[in-house]
Structure 1
Amino acid sequence: MELTEANPLTAAAGRNESLHRAFQILRLLSKNDSGASVAALSAESGLPRTTVSRLLASLFDVGAVARPGTDRLWVLGPAISELSGSVQHDVALQIVGLSVLESFTAEFDETCMMAVPVAESMATVTEEVKGTHLLGISGTWKGQTVSSLDSGFVRMLLAELPSQKTKTILDKQFDGSAQELRELTESIDGIRLNDYSVVVDTLEAGLSGIGVPVRKSGRLVAMLATYLPTSRFTEDFRIGALSALRQGAETIASR
């Protein structure tokens, strides 16, 4: 009698129901770029809220989901982008990007980094090359997911969106004064107009940065930026760094 191997994909193989439910939640989040609440996910999936909350907690532990805003909405996390094989984490993009960062730091001796979008207002730093000068914050930014509205990366992401969409996100996530909201909105409008970001003393007192988008076929796939002490962020540096970053963005986009 010939023996046949059992199909590992059949129900008899004892598939884990929690895994199926987790993927159900991930699929729903993939269709909601702005994020979704536990209540909304429960309604769309038909699962109890307690089950959805438990699944989200497990997915959060492995970086598959994130909750970056003050509105408590859930979005897909950086681990999904890393596994997806999407253009954000294309190997060639990373290799060329690292080469561009190394060239920039060799010329300016300042820390330079590349980030990729993982949500409408969230980015992950994928590469970083440190200058010999100390950056305002110790340690490394590589691998960190950034969601702060004070970040030039996040502001560049918001500038890619239609104005009304940006306003909706700011209404949900921003909790500062009316004056601070106006300044933030003007900053994002300036990025739309000039196609680069400048932040001064927002992420940290005494720390400034300038960044540019990297686009392929009109789609933002990455961002380049340098951060340095505000005391060294002169007009001459801004002009030179902007030119070098833009050349770097063109190099990455052409590969």
Structure 2
Amino acid sequence: MAGEGEGGGKQVIARAAAVLKTLENQRHGLSLSQIAKASGLPRTTVHRIVTALEAQQMVIAGSEGVRLGPALVRLAASAHTDIVAIARPYVESLGRRTRETVDVSVYRGLHAISVDQYPSDQELRVVSPVGTAFPIHCTAHGKILLSALSDASVVQLLADPLERRTAATRVAVQAVVEDVGVAREQGWAIDVEEHAPGVCGIGIYLRSGLAEHYAISLAVPALRFHENLHGLKAALLQCKAEIESVIGG
């Protein structure tokens, strides 16, 4: 009986994982029927699993369907403790040198998830909570994370029209692909008020030697960004080299 129970438990976990994987990278919610079709599970089973996952905030069921929930964002942040701990001294050093906010992010489909931050000490600064999901197409850390993918993979991931956050947001997939190509070639990406008015960013890809994709970026008020861009880029690339020399990326 014990073995049977263990097998049943594994089956429940496998089915829950199938539902979560079905929802991965979905820009909008899916209906129970759509989840059932994509996962190959009976609709009644999907309903039970979604209800249980919703109780744990792993999914959100709303008028537009079922979407991944905030608990997964928190789990994503906590899963990267090791890389964050290794990078932390260098992230702090970067923050002290530039006096701008430093973010460490990980790739999650349509988002770059913040897993660590060193906030600026200046009165005018840009700060977001750790665990924030930033859109991948209109942020410096998002675009540099996309540069680790092929152009074909980027096209497959994104869909026209992209969400417009500001007047400067690129909403055409091909425009983002071009930005990502430039970032891939030069080794860094920028965001000039594409995600939020008055906010700019510069990001680099961190080669961790792991399957995960990481980025380190600086979030800078537009008033200071352009005149300091050269120094910010140099400091960011130095931080990248320091961390990669330690982790062997």
- TM-score band by shorter chain is 0.7 to 0.9
| Alignment correspondent of 2:145 | 157
For structure 1, which segment, 177-186 or 208-217, has the greater mean C-alpha deviation from structure 2 after superposition?
177-186
Q: Name the CA distance, whole Å, in 1 between partners of 2:175 and 2:137.
A: 12
Q: Name the CA distance, whole Å, in 2 between partners of 1:71 and 1:192.
A: 36
CA distance 1:126–1:165, shift in 2 (3 Å): same
Matched, 1:221 2:209: no
Whether the 8 Å CA contact 1:111–1:128 is kept in 2: the answer is yes
Q: Deviations over 1:126-182 (max 9, x none)?
A: 1111122245556x4212222353222222232222212212222266155997425
| Alignment correspondent of 1:3 | none
Question: What letter matches 1:46 in structure 2?
Answer: L
Question: What letter matches 2:117 in structure 1?
Answer: E
Matched, 1:170 2:141: no
CA distance 1:22–1:174, shift in 2 (3 Å): farther
Matched, 1:190 2:182: yes
CA distance 1:24–1:79, shift in 2 (3 Å): farther
Q: Deviations over 1:11-53 (max 9, x none)?
A: 3x9x77xx954541314654886459554531233220x6525
Whether the 8 Å CA contact 1:136–1:206 is kept in 2: the answer is no
CA distance 1:98–1:53, shift in 2 (3 Å): farther
**Runs (4+) of structure 1 moved beyond 6 Å?**
70-73
For structure 1, which segment, 50-59 or 182-191, has the greater mean C-alpha deviation from structure 2 after superposition?
50-59
1:61 CA displacement: 5.8
CA distance 1:58–1:209, shift in 2 (3 Å): farther
**Percent of counterpart pairs with the same letter?**
16
1:206 CA displacement: 0.9
Whether the 8 Å CA contact 2:205–2:216 is kept in 1: the answer is yes
1:213 CA displacement: 0.6
Whether the 8 Å CA contact 2:104–2:116 is kept in 1: the answer is yes
User: What RMSD, in angstroms, separates the aligned Cα atoms of the two structures?
Assistant: 3.9
Whether the 8 Å CA contact 2:206–2:213 is kept in 1: the answer is yes
Query: What's the secondary structure of 1:225's corresponding residue?
Result: strand
| Alignment correspondent of 1:97 | 87
CA distance 1:168–1:252, shift in 2 (3 Å): same
Max radius of gyration: which structure? 1
Query: Structure 1: where are the runs of 5+ without partners?
Result: 1-5
CA distance 1:81–1:129, shift in 2 (3 Å): closer
Query: Structure 2: where are the runs of 5+ without partners?
Result: none
1:1-255 equivalence runs, <5 A: 7=2, 10-11=4-5, 20-21=11-12, 23-27=14-18, 29-30=20-21, 34-35=25-26, 37=30, 38-43=32-37, 44-48=39-43, 51-52=45-46, 55-56=49-50, 58-59=52-53, 62=56, 64=58, 77-79=72-74, 81=76, 89-91=80-82, 93-117=83-107, 119-134=108-123, 140-147=128-135, 149-171=137-159, 174-175=162-163, 180-181=171-172, 182-217=174-209, 221-235=213-227, 237-253=228-244, 254-255=246-247
1:229 CA displacement: 0.8
Equivalenced residues, count: 235
Query: What's the secondary structure of 1:216's corresponding residue?
Result: coil
Normalising by the residue count of structure 2, what TM-score does the alignment of the two structures yield?
A: 0.74
